[in-house]
Structure 1
Amino acid sequence: MLIVIFSVMLYHYIKITIFENVVQSLTLEAKNISARLDIFSLEYKNKNFDLIEIVPNDSNLTRAEFITTKDDNATYLTLYYPYQSHLLILTKDTSEYSLIVEQILVDILIINATAIFLILFYALFLSRMLLAPLRSFCLKLGELNERFLQEVETSELPIEFKPLGDGVNRLIGRILTFVQYQKELFIGVAHELKTPLSVMKTKNEVTLIKERDTQKYIETLKNNNEAINQMNKMISSILEIGRQEGAQFEQPVMTDMIAYINEIGNNFLILAKGDDKNIKMSLRPHSLRIMIQPTLFLHVLQNFVQNAIKFSPKGATIDINSTLINGEFIVKVIDEGIGIDESKDLFAPFKRYGNSSGAGLGLFLAKGAAQALGGNIELRNRTDRSGTIATFILPIRNNKYKK
Structure 2
Amino acid sequence: MFSQRSIRQSFLIQLIIASASLIIIFSSLLYFYIEKSIIDEKHEELSVYAKNASSNESIYGSDVPTAEEYLGLNIEIMYLNTQHLTLDFYETTKNKKSFLTLIHPFNFDDLSYLKITKDITQTRTLLNKIFNYLLVINVAGFLLVIIYAIGLSKMLVSPVKTLSNKLSNMNEHLMRPIIVEELPEEFEPLGATINHLILRIQNFVKYQKELFIGTAHELKTPLAVIKLKNQVTLIKKRTPEEYIEALKVTNKTVDEMNIIVSNILNIGRQEGMQLEKPQEVDVIAILKQKADDFNLLAANEGKTLEMNFQPNGFMAILQVGLLNQIVQNFLQNALKFTQKNKKVLLQSSLNSYGLLIEVIDEGCGIDESSDLYAPFKREGNKPGVGLGLFLAKSGADALGAKINIKNRTDGVSGTVASLNLNSKLSCILPSK
- For residues 325-340 of structure 1, what are the structure 2 equivalents within 5 Å? 325-340=351-366
The residue number in structure 2 matching 1:268 is 294
2:128 is paired with a residue whose SS is helix
The residue number in structure 1 matching 2:174 is 149
The residue number in structure 2 matching 1:357 is 383
Match of 2:247 among 221, 236, 241: 221
The residue number in structure 2 matching 1:23 is 40
CA distance in structure 2 between the aligned counterparts of 1:132 and 1:247, rounded to whole angstroms:
37
After TM superposition, give the deviation of residue 142 of structure 1 in Å.
4.6
CA distance in structure 2 between the aligned counterparts of 1:302 and 1:82, rounded to whole angstroms:
102
Q: Please tell me the residue identity of whatever aligns with 1:301.
A: V
Q: Please tell me the residue identity of whatever aligns with 2:174.
A: L
After TM superposition, give the deviation of residue 305 of structure 1 in Å.
1.3
Match of 2:285 among 231, 246, 259: 259
The residue number in structure 2 matching 1:288 is 314
After TM superposition, give the deviation of residue 186 of structure 1 in Å.
0.5
Q: Please tell me the residue identity of whatever aligns with 1:360.
A: G
Matched, 1:209 2:209: no
Q: 1:32 to 1:344 in 2, by over 3 A?
A: same
2:381 is paired with a residue whose SS is coil
**Higher mean C-alpha displacement, 2-11 vs 295-304:** 2-11
CA distance in structure 2 between the aligned counterparts of 1:219 and 1:367, rounded to whole angstroms:
40
CA distance in structure 2 between the aligned counterparts of 1:313 and 1:135, rounded to whole angstroms:
57
The residue number in structure 1 matching 2:96 is 73
Match of 2:216 among 175, 179, 190: 190
Matched, 1:346 2:372: yes
1:351 is paired with a residue whose SS is coil
Q: 1:298 to 1:43 in 2, by over 3 A?
A: same
Q: TM-score, normalised by structure 2?
A: 0.75
CA distance in structure 2 between the aligned counterparts of 1:84 and 1:95, rounded to whole angstroms:
30
CA distance in structure 2 between the aligned counterparts of 1:293 and 1:111, rounded to whole angstroms:
60
Q: 1:351 to 1:53 in 2, by over 3 A?
A: farther
Q: Please tell me the residue identity of whatever aligns with 1:243.
A: R
CA distance in structure 2 between the aligned counterparts of 1:293 and 1:153, rounded to whole angstroms:
28
The residue number in structure 2 matching 1:105 is 131
Matched, 1:320 2:346: yes
How big is each residue's C-alpha offset from its partner over 1:119-152, in whole Å with a ceiling of 9 and x where there is no partner?
Answer: 54566578779989987986675565x4642549
Matched, 1:392 2:419: yes
1:401 is paired with a residue whose SS is strand
CA distance in structure 2 between the aligned counterparts of 1:84 and 1:199, rounded to whole angstroms:
133
CA distance in structure 2 between the aligned counterparts of 1:98 and 1:90, rounded to whole angstroms:
18
Aligned-residue identity in percent: 37
Unaligned 5+ runs, structure 2: 1-16, 61-68
2:355 is paired with a residue whose SS is strand
The residue number in structure 2 matching 1:377 is 403
CA distance in structure 2 between the aligned counterparts of 1:331 and 1:153, rounded to whole angstroms:
30
2:362 is paired with a residue whose SS is coil
Q: Determine if contact 2:363/2:414 at 8 Å carries over to the other structure.
A: yes
The residue number in structure 1 matching 2:9 is none
Q: Please tell me the residue identity of whatever aligns with 1:346.
A: L
After TM superposition, give the deviation of residue 282 of structure 1 in Å.
1.6
> How many matched pairs?
396
Q: Please tell me the residue identity of whatever aligns with 1:73.
A: K
Q: Determine if contact 2:317/2:425 at 8 Å carries over to the other structure.
A: no
2:348 is paired with a residue whose SS is strand
How big is each residue's C-alpha offset from its partner over 1:327-371, in whole Å with a ceiling of 9 and x where there is no partner?
Answer: 332111112333333343322211222222121110111112112
CA distance in structure 2 between the aligned counterparts of 1:84 and 1:300, rounded to whole angstroms:
105
Q: 1:24 to 1:378 in 2, by over 3 A?
A: same
CA distance in structure 1 between the aligned counterparts of 2:31 and 2:422, rounded to whole angstroms:
59
Q: 1:336 to 1:169 in 2, by over 3 A?
A: closer
CA distance in structure 2 between the aligned counterparts of 1:9 and 1:126, rounded to whole angstroms:
23
- For residues 51-62 of structure 1, what are the structure 2 equivalents within 5 Å? none
Q: Determine if contact 2:27/2:138 at 8 Å carries over to the other structure.
A: no
Q: Determine if contact 2:43/2:89 at 8 Å carries over to the other structure.
A: no
Q: Determine if contact 2:346/2:358 at 8 Å carries over to the other structure.
A: yes
CA distance in structure 2 between the aligned counterparts of 1:324 and 1:83, rounded to whole angstroms:
92
Match of 2:271 among 245, 248, 267: 245
After TM superposition, give the deviation of residue 227 of structure 1 in Å.
1.3
Q: Please tell me the residue identity of whatever aligns with 2:424.
A: R
2:428 is paired with a residue whose SS is coil
CA distance in structure 1 between the aligned counterparts of 2:377 and 2:55, rounded to whole angstroms:
119
**Higher mean C-alpha displacement, 119-128 vs 320-329:** 119-128
CA distance in structure 2 between the aligned counterparts of 1:57 and 1:257, rounded to whole angstroms:
95
1:346 is paired with a residue whose SS is coil
**Higher mean C-alpha displacement, 28-37 vs 221-230:** 28-37
CA distance in structure 1 between the aligned counterparts of 2:157 and 2:255, rounded to whole angstroms:
59
Q: Determine if contact 2:23/2:141 at 8 Å carries over to the other structure.
A: no
CA distance in structure 2 between the aligned counterparts of 1:217 and 1:57, rounded to whole angstroms:
141
Q: TM-score, normalised by structure 1?
A: 0.80
After TM superposition, give the deviation of residue 57 of structure 1 in Å.
10
2:357 is paired with a residue whose SS is strand
CA RMSD after TM alignment: 4.0
Q: 1:59 to 1:326 in 2, by over 3 A?
A: farther
Q: Determine if contact 1:335/1:387 at 8 Å carries over to the other structure.
A: yes
Q: Determine if contact 2:360/2:417 at 8 Å carries over to the other structure.
A: yes
Q: Determine if contact 2:315/2:429 at 8 Å carries over to the other structure.
A: yes
How big is each residue's C-alpha offset from its partner over 1:234-280, in whole Å with a ceiling of 9 and x where there is no partner?
Answer: 11111111122222233333332222322332333344344444433
